[in-house]
Amino acid sequence: MNVKKYLKKQAGQDLQSLETERDRAFLGQLENIAEENARARAKKRNLQGLWAIPSVAVAGGLAAVLLVELLPVADDGLDDIKYIESNFVSVDSDMNEFNGASDNLVINITADKTVNSVVKTYDQVSGDELYYTLRIEEVTETVFVCLDMLVVVNEHYDYENFQIDETFVTETVEDFSVNYSQVVSVDPDFGLNLVKCTGKIEKPNFEIYILNYEEYALDDGSFLNYIDDLLEFKT
């Protein structure tokens, strides 16, 4: 073998050897990178696991805060009270109990003008008093009056069973107004006029209804004057 062939062969072997060493070095570098990446991924997973617990706790805390923020603040609920008529109970009462429940309202009773019945209506679920119904009668040689009156004593209750239509008119007496309807007919047995009225007292902070008013009279009766004398409002 001449020198040229030998050198060429040796150079080829050296190049192959060099390439093998480079390949090994490159493969080793790749393995190192792979190991580093694996350790990095493992570390990341560990860190994610560590962060998961605080994240859950934070999420729970945020949920609690949101619940606290979203839940309405409890109040006494008085403005939203809804009474159901099927829960109403009516019982016999008296003027002492009525006077204790009806603030700033006085019923002027005389020897001839008597209260023959007092009925209290309350809500059996809450126990709240709602209204009182009074029957007042006056019978003398010149006067015959029978009156059924309803007085609401609960500011959170609205009486809705009283209907006002086009036959009603409004008249003002001394310190309040009355929205009322009146019908006058002749009673054949007595030869007198039978005056029948229903009405609502128009007075701020009071809810009073005349469910029935009957009077025997020679003319159109004295409904407005009678109501004016009967009711006294204190300030």
Summarised one tens digit per residue, pLDDT across range 185-218 is 999 888 899 999 999 999 999 999 999 999 999 9
Residue 198: name the closest of 227, 231, 174 by CA: 227
Question: What pLDDT shows up at residue 13?
Answer: 53
Run of H or E residues at 154: none
Question: What pLDDT shows up at residue 190?
Answer: 84
* Amino acid code (one letter) for 215: E
- Rounded to an integer, the average pLDDT of 95-105 is 94
Residue 211: name the closest of 112, 134, 103, 99 by CA: 134
* Amino acid code (one letter) for 228: D
Q: What is the pLDDT of residues 45-99, one digit of tens each?
A: 554 554 444 444 444 543 444 333 433 444 444 556 789 999 999 999 999 999 9
The three-state secondary structure class of 64 is helix
Please report, for residues 121, 147, 157, 209, the alpha-carbon distance to residue 133 in angstroms, rounded to integers and kept in the order given.
8, 10, 15, 9
Which of 6-20, 25-39, 124-138: highest mean pLDDT?
124-138
